[in-house]
Structure formats: structure tokens, C-alpha cells
Structure 1
Amino acid sequence: MLEDIVGQLWFQLTLLLTVAIASSLLFAKFKQPKIIGQILLGIVIGPSLLGLISVDSDTPGSMVPRFAELGAIMLLFLIGLECDIKEIYTKRSLLIGAGGVIVPWVCGYFLSELMLPDPGVGYDMFSQSVFVGAALVATSVAITAGVLKEMGIIGSDIAKTLLGAAVVDDVLGMLVLAVSAGTASGEGIDLSDLTWLVTAAVLFVALGGYIGAKVLTKVVASVQRRGSARGLEESGFLMALSIALLYATISEAIGLSAIVGAFVAGTIFARCEYRTRFHGYTKVLEWVFAPIFFLSLGVLIDVGEVSSGAWLFALVLTGVAFATKIAGCGIPARLLGMSKGDSLSLGIGMSPRMEIAMVIALYGLSNKIITGEIYSVIVMMGLLTAVFTPSILRRTMRSVPKTPAVCETVDA
């Protein structure tokens, strides 16, 4: 009887949302990002400890993998909606962001090749290493922005440069995911396939963004005006959400990931005339889907299956995660005229990996590109960078004068 209840879809949803509320309250009390609490409590209710939720997609009623995938699509749409690239984009941000993508990706790949054993039947070592590197690419804008807001310096020059570089990281991170997913063939890499993937990714982002900005934003605005005249205030947002799902479908159909399309769609509507109104609706979606996504990440971890060697790799990977951002972002910042202290702070501020790194890990796990053990390692790396970055950043940026906020980002 109890097993039947636990296996029901509605019980799983009830448990996930209840635990999400509890974790948010608990970690807010200790002034820690709530997403850390959601992942940790996901580990508790999953197979690692209590086993209240099954992660086997073949088990009747088990929908956690589907919850996670849907949550990832919604989360990336919301992140894209917050990325008004034109507001904080500069040449400096572009160069720093690019350095923060290339160095971690390359170093993560070679570290994986050096330390990890062959993943076994059904997996490809090259593809797994590419995904480990890809997981090191994107910065968590939410965590860094939260610290800057708390310190009252989010309007400072270094904060604007940091946030701009983080936005570049997000965009390039989606391109990295697209290329990484396409090269995961199990037979190595083919130059013509890689050329097609890069071309498809660039064309999709460019054409999707252009058509969206020139046509679809006007369609959504028209729907919103007509809907508002008839008392349907949410009509424009629903149309925008439908377009996001369409972009996700097209993205997946051409060999990219669905979340790439969702992210591109989000950036389209970031400059829509009804953006402020849409922001309120996206918050409702964020309250529901973001906790489900991060809890699901924890549920999908089985600590009992992680070997001692994998734990060692997780610690080394965390160290490399910090070092590659400090080098990849800090060195270009220094060369572009920033002080040593600001360059170091910028590299540290770019170090936390959470949202997009978790999405990349989930995609790799769901498509049998990385093993469950390596998935757990990537999630643990993300948790460790998210936990340690705020305290380090507060120390390195304590001399920055307080300035008023000039932009908004996704809450941590």
C-alpha cells in the first residue's frame, strides 16, 4: 500500500514541492543560496538515503527524469529572458567571457582524459571528456549577482564587467553544449560533422534571434494588446512561452539540445516592450519549475555508487574549476587594464557553476554520454564552487565602494 502511494506521480510532486519550500526556508536562514539546499535535500529523499522517489524512468509513476528535463527547459528560458545582452555587453566583457569559456573547456577535457578510466560498454571516453569540460564553462550568474547585490556594489564598474562576461559565458555555454552534444557519437569526431554542428548552432542562434527580434516580438506584442483589450492579460506571455517551446523543438530537431532553443527564445523577449509584465509571470514559473529541477538533480545522484576515485576527481575538478576561471578571465582582464585585485576578483566571481553546468550534466546523463558516477561528480563540483565562492568574493571585493543597482538578474 505504502509503495503504491510513494510511486504515484502526485505524491512525487507533493514531496518535491514541500521539500523545496523547506529547503528554501532553511538555507535562507543561513544566508546560503537556496538551490544548494534543494540539491542537498534531493540527495536525502532520493536513492542515496531515504529512497522516497525512484529515478528509474521505467518504473510506473516515476517522472523525476521528465520533471528535470522540463525544469531545465523552463529554467533556461527564464535565464535567457534575464539576459538583456545589449545592456551590459562591452568588448571587455566579450573577451573576458571568451577566455572563461575556452580555458575551462580545454582543461576539463584533458583532466578527464588524464584521470578517468574508460567508462565501459555503451559509453565513449572522448564524448565523456568533452562533456566534463563543457560542464566547467558557464558561470552561475545567480550566485555571483546575489553576492554583489548583498554587498551593494552591483552598480560598480567591476560588477558590470563581471555580469557582462557572465552573460557571454551563458551564451557561449549554450554553443559549447550544442557542439558537445553533437560530437557525442561514440566513434570519435568527424571534421565535417563538427563543421555542420558549429554552423547549425551559429545559424540557429543568429537566425532565431533575428527572426525573433524582427517578427516574433511584434507578434507577441500584438497578441498582448489584443488580449489585454479583452481582459486576457496573460495572453502575450503564453504566446512567448509557446514560441520558446517551438524553439526548443526546432533546436532538438536539428541535432542541438532543446534547452539551447529555450535559451535563445528567452533572449529574444528580454527586450520586448512587455518584458516587465512577463517578468512577473516568469517568477511564477521559476517558483515551480526551478525547485523541481534542482531537487531532481539531487534525486538523480546515488552516493552509494560513487567510488573513492570519483570523489578524488570531484575535488581535483573543483580546484581546476576555480583555477581555470581565475586564469581564463583574470589574465584577459589584467591585459585589458584592470588592476590585479579586480582581475582576481573577477576570476573568482566567474567561478561558481550551477544552473547551466547542471543542465549539461543532466543532458549527458539522460543521453548516456556520461555515467551516473561522473554526473554525481559534476553536481558535487557545482555545489562546492557555489558554497565557497561567496565567502571568497566578499573578501576580495570588500574595498569596492557601494553603488546603486543598475540591472536585474535571476535570484539565487
Structure 2
Amino acid sequence: MLATATEADQGPIVLAGVLLTLIVIYLASKLGGELSKAVDLPPVLGELVGGVVVGASALHLIVFPEGGAQAADSLLMTVLQAIAGLDPRAAASVFESQSEVISVLAELGVIVLLFEIGLESDLRELQKVGYQAAVVAVVGVVAPFAAGTVGLMFFFKVSAIPAIFAGAALTATSIGITSKVLSELGHLKSKEGQIIVGAAVIDDVLGIIVLAVVASLAKTGEVNILNVIYLMIGASAFLLGSIFLGKFFNKSFVAIADRLQTRGKLVIPAFTFAFFMAFLANVIQLEAILGAFAAGLVLDETDKRKELDREVVPIADILVPIFFVTVGARVDLSVLNPVVPENQQGLIIAAFLIVVAILGKLVTGWTVFGQASINRFAIGVGMIPRGEVGLVFAGIGAASGALDKPLQAAIIVMVILTTFLAPPFLRLAFKESADKQPDLIG
């Protein structure tokens, strides 16, 4: 039984609140992921939905003060308050402190996630698919970003920063979801499959640059053309410079890892490098996630990349679910309740984003040239799912204050629906050629 706390000795109470919150997060993550996997959907969607269930939309077990919640709104805090005998003022202080700790853990989770994505983004594979994938990727970023941003500002009078953030959320493509379905269909090594996967990887690179730019814009609160140009050039130069310098760093990294004899001799230097790159990106007014992603790309070129991939996975398994569950927990889907008149515009915005998200990627199939027999519809469909990358945009946009509740909820709905729709439509796109041997890239 915890003693009644004063401000001087709230540390154990805050720790108790953090531990309770983590218990709920991991239960929601695992139950949601397993249920999602059971119905042949990406586990990350289950983690997101689990967060929605335990968060502001349903059970109110996990809520955050940034969303306007108070200690009394959290069922976990109510339990903790009863156990510890906290007065309302002390409960409010503990609530803010434990929420801040969870938010920091979630940010660490997204940094680890982007480091992991960087490790999985094989630069050698990008060189194989070449210019075709590059064209598909660029169109797949520019078309939905431009249509989403301009449409929100013109039709819905959304201000510039939120509109740009929402438009940026439309740019991503989930390589994990598409690759899984292509592999199941036996089309991963086909012309269509290679173009889709290559374009999805390039999409992620371009998307992270866009995210770094818009997140930095959200901090300043205004759109300054010179600042935008600086951020775009800065983010691109940082990424390309990191990859270039990484060719010289890789041998040193391997040599250091080989000389170390204690536990964590590979993973600790790797995360030290990733956190340093994240810190460096932050210092030069870019996003920490860009640095982590760049670190992943660099270390993917080392001889120890496969071993490193295996060692990063359990760390990601611990931290990344915190990010996804808290993203879902912060979403208040009641703002999309059609019964409430004020919510109707939010629903219309969600429908608009879904249409742009689908059409903006479908058109990419018709940008492939010089391939008369290519399945253009399959390429377009393969680019549709936003998955975990789209959730990263929504989470960072909400944390920065750039997105209000209706727009954040609309983006979450867009991510969920595009991720749900892509697998069955991809199967349908390849149905006619399912009994044929896929054409391999010659």
C-alpha cells in the first residue's frame, strides 16, 4: 500500500502510474495484434485499434493532458488515487508526470521504428528496379500530397500547417503489408512486385523527408518559403550525406563491434550511432526520426546487417507498441459521430482523404512506361496501404499540436481503411494471372 504523497515524494507514485499504464499498453498491443493476425490483417492495425479501445474513444484507461484530459478522466489514475490516497492536486501532478514519461517512451519507440525501417530499406534493391520505381514513387508522393493539401485548404478552409501535415500523411506506402501479400501471391519477384517494393522504399525515404519538413514547420507555426526550401535541402542533404559518409564509417563500426567482448557488443554501438544521428538531426532543426532513419540506412550496408536486424527486433518489440497504442489512445473517434452536427464536416474530410489516398496512388500504375504487358492496376493498388508509416505522421502531427482532433481522427480512419482495403484488392488485381508463372525481371 502506497503512502499518501506530497510533491517531494511522488516519485514512487509516478513510477506506479507508469507501470500500470505500460501493463495496459502491452495487453492492448498484444491482444489487438493477435486478433488482427487471426483475421489475416497487419498486427500494427490491431495495436492501433487496441489503443483506440483503451484510450479516449472508449475505456479511458489511457488519456493525455495535451488532449484536454484531467486526472479524473483517467480510470488508471482513479485506481491509483484510491490506492495512494492522493488529494486532487497531487493526483493532477502525478497524472502529468506519468503522461510525460509515457510520451517520451512513445517518442523513443518511433525513433527505434524509423531506425528499424532504415535497416530494412535495402539500397541495393533500389538500384535494381531503377528509374521505373523512382517515377512511381515520386508521383505517389506528389499527387496525394498536392491534392490533399490544396483540397483541404480550398474546399474545407483548413489552415496551411494542418493541411500540409494531412497532405503529408497521404504520401507514405507501407512496404511491409504490400510485400507480405505479394509474397503470398507469388508475385514478389515479378516486374510489378519489384516496382511496387522499390517504389514503396523510395516512398518511405521521400515521406520521411516530407515529415521532417512539415514537423519542423509545425514548430514555427508558419509557412515561410525560404524556411521550407532550407528544410527540404537540409533534410535531403542530411540523408544523402549520411549515406555517403556511411560508406567510410561502416568498416570502423564493424571493427569496433568485433573488438568488443561483452554483451550487446553489436546492438549497443548501433543504438549509440542511431541516437547520435537522431540528436544531430534535432540540433540542425530537423526531426530526430530522420537521423534514426539515416542511421538505419547506413548500418544496413555493413556486413553485420542481418545479425543487427535480429538484435534490434526485440528492442523494437518493447518500445514500438508504446508508440502505436498511444497514437490510438490519443484519438477521440467521438469527433466523427455523425449524430452530432458539428462532427459532420470531420466525416466529410475523412471521406475526402480516403478518396485522395486511393486515387493518388492508383494513378502511379499508369506512370510506368515501356512495359506494354505490365499490370498497371496491380502497381497502383500495391501502393495504397499507408500502414505504420501513416500512423507515424498522425502521431507526430498530434504531438506537435498541428492537427486538431477531427483532422487527426480523419487521418487515422484513412490509414485504417487503406490498409484494410489493399490486401483484398491486390489479390483481385492479380487474380487473372494467378495460374500463370510471373514474369521475372530479365
TM-score, structure 2 as length reference: 0.83
- Inter-partner Cα distance in structure 2 for 1:112 and 1:357: 18
What is the alpha-carbon distance in structure 1 between the residues aligned to residue 317 and residue 365 of structure 2? 34
Paired letter, 1:236: L
CA shift in 2, pair 1:363/1:152, >3 Å: same
Q: Find the partner of 1:323 among 353, 359, 365.
A: 359
Kept in 1: contact 2:361–2:381 (CA 8 A): yes
Task: Assess, with a 3 A threshold, how the Cα gap between structure 1 residues 405 and 266 changes in structure 2: closer, same or farther.
Answer: farther
Give the AA of the match of 1:65: S
Distance 1:404 1:79, change over 3 A: farther
> Aligned ranges for residues 142-181 of structure 1 at < 5 Å?
142-181=176-215
> Secondary structure, in 3 states, of the residue corresponding to 1:54?
coil
* 1:79 corresponds to 2:79: no
Query: Alpha-carbon deviation of 1:186?
Result: 6.2
Contact 1:148 1:154 (8 Å CA) reproduced:
yes
* 1:314 alignment partner AA: A
Given candidates 264, 277, 284, the residue that maps to 1:254 is 284
- 1:301-320 matches, within 5 Å, as 301-306=331-336, 307-320=343-356
Contact 1:154/1:405 (CA < 8 Å) preserved in 2?
Answer: no
| Percentage of pairs with the same residue | 28
Cα shift at 1:9: 0.2
* Structure 2 residues not aligned, in runs of 5+: 3-12, 67-94, 337-342
Q: CA 1:336–1:165 in structure 2 vs 1: closer, same or farther (change >3 Å)?
A: farther
Match of 1:237 among 239, 246, 267: 267
Name the structure 2 match of 1:212. 246
Q: Which residue of 2 aligns with 1:409?
A: none
The answer to whether residue 216 in structure 2 is matched with residue 182 in structure 1 is: yes
Residue equivalent to 1:109:
149
Asked if structure 1 preserves the Cα contact closer than 8 Å seen for 2:327 and 2:394, the reply is: no
1:11–1:185 Cα change, 3 Å: closer
Q: Distance in 1 between matches of 2:103 and 2:298?
A: 28
Residue 5 of structure 1, CA deviation: 9.4
Letter of the 1:212 partner, please give it.
Answer: G
Shift of 1:285: 2.0
| Separation (CA, whole Å) in 2 of partners of 1:61 and 1:285 | 22
CA distance in 2 between counterparts of 1:261 and 1:186 reads 20
Q: 1:388 to 1:208 in 2, by over 3 A?
A: same
Matched, 1:367 2:400: yes
Aligned counterpart, 2:417: 384
Matches within 5 A, 1:116-135: 116-118=156-158, 125-135=159-169
Query: Which residue does 2:107 correspond to in 1?
Result: 69
Q: In the alignment, is residue 332 of structure 1 matched against residue 367 of structure 2?
A: yes
2:140 matches 1:100: yes
Alignment pair present for 1:226 and 2:235: no
Paired with 1:208 and 1:186, the residues of 2 have a C-alpha distance of 26
| Alpha carbons 1:132, 1:378 under 8 Å: kept | yes
| Contact residue 88 and residue 161 of structure 1 kept, 8 A | no
Q: Secondary structure at the match of 1:181?
A: helix
The two structures have a TM-score, normalised by structure 1, of 0.89
Kept in 2: contact 1:101–1:138 (CA 8 A)? yes
**Pair 1:15 & 2:24 matched:** yes
Structure 1 residues 293 and 404, CA, compared in 2 at 3 Å: closer, same or farther? farther
Choose 1 or 2 for highest CA Rg. Answer: 2
- The residue type equivalent to 1:284 in the other structure is P
Alignment gaps of 5+ in structure 1? 119-124, 407-412
Letter in 2 for 1:203: A
Confirm or deny: 8 A CA contact 1:101 1:169 kept in the other structure.
yes
| Residue-by-residue CA offset, 1:338-386 (whole Å, 9 max, x unaligned) | 546x111111100111222211222221111221221121111100100
Structure number with greater CO (CA < 8 Å, separation at least 6) is 1
Q: What amino acid is the match of 2:319?
A: F
Shift in Å, 1:402 = 5.7
Q: Give the aligned CA root-mean-square deviation in angstroms.
A: 2.4
Q: Distance in 1 between matches of 2:315 and 2:155?
A: 40
In the alignment, the residues of structure 2 paired with residue 187 and residue 362 of structure 1 have an alpha-carbon distance, to the nearest angstrom, of 18
The separation in 2 between residues aligned to 1:343 and 1:7, in whole angstroms, is 54
Counterpart secondary structure, 1:235: coil
Q: CA deviation at 1:250?
A: 1.1
**Who is 2:49 aligned against?**
40
